[in-house]
Amino acid sequence: MKWKELEEEPCSMARTIAVIGDRWTLLILRECFLRTRRFEGFQSALGITRHLLAERLKKLVRQGILRRVPYQESPKRHEYILTQKGLDLYPIMMAIVHWGDTHMVDERGRPLLHLHRNCGKNFDPVMVCSECGEPVLAKEVHTHPGPGARRPLAQKEMEAPAPKPKARRKAA
């Protein structure tokens, strides 16, 4: 499977992973949520190579996750700001942080705490069901095909190579 195909898989996870599923992209997004906006800011916070950083930022802009906004003329300079689509990644970020808080901390405890201003307390993110409001466990969930599931196979595909004859052993 190539990465181009991945983006077209009928799977929301695959498609999302195709966009944000690499280490540097996730770290760049972490910085975005910590209010970093500028090239040098990302570079020095992460130690990423400038080449990669430029590439990843471009990709995030192409995907509509960041917006490239000018903040000064002459020399033209831009900031990278999260769009709404980007802000919507927050639950993913928080879920990742929370797993780390639960399973990857050392004896000293959490590196960061999160204060929910609405209620004034440090909190953990909890994933609940949109319908009943209860926390969701993996075992309580049944997954089934939706309208965008892989379409029924077309005739052409039906004729497509049945699983290749595996001439794996001592061939030729």
Partner DNA sequence: ATCTACAGTTCGTTTTTTGAACTGTCAAAC
Partner DNA sequence: GTTTGACAGTTCAAAAAACGAACTGTAGAT
Asked if 59 is part of the footprint of its own copies (rule: CB under 8 A), the reply reads no
Asked if 39 is part of the footprint of its own copies (rule: CB under 8 A), the reply reads no
Asked if 159 is part of the footprint of its own copies (rule: CB under 8 A), the reply reads no
4 binds, among its own copies, DNA, none (CB under 5 to 8 A by kind): none
Q: Give residue for tokens 């906004």.
A: 69
Beta bridge partners of 82: 66
Q: How far is the CB of 67 from its own copies (least distance, A)?
A: 15
Using the rule CB under 7 A, give the single segment among 91-99, 103-111, 114-122, 163-171 that binds DNA. 163-171
Asked if 31 is part of the footprint of DNA (rule: CB under 7 A), the reply reads no
Which amino acid is located at 38 in the chain? R
Asked if 127 is part of the footprint of its own copies (rule: CB under 8 A), the reply reads yes
Using CB under 7 A as the binding rule, the residues of this chain from 102 to 121 that contact DNA are none
Q: Are 89 and 30 in contact (CB under 8 A)?
A: no
Backbone angles phi, psi at 89, to 5 degrees: -75, -5
Residues 6 or more apart in contact with residue 140 via CB below 8 angstroms: none
Q: How far is the CB of 79 from DNA (least distance, A)?
A: 7
Asked if 40 is part of the footprint of its own copies (rule: CB under 8 A), the reply reads no
Query: What separation in angstroms does the CA of 33 have from each of 30, 40, 86, 113, 156?
Result: 5, 16, 9, 14, 47
Give the residue from 107, 122, 111, 19 showing the smallest Cα distance to 63: 19
Can you give the binding site for DNA, defined by CB under 7 A? 2-3, 22, 24, 38-41, 47-52, 54-55, 57, 74-75, 77-79, 164-171
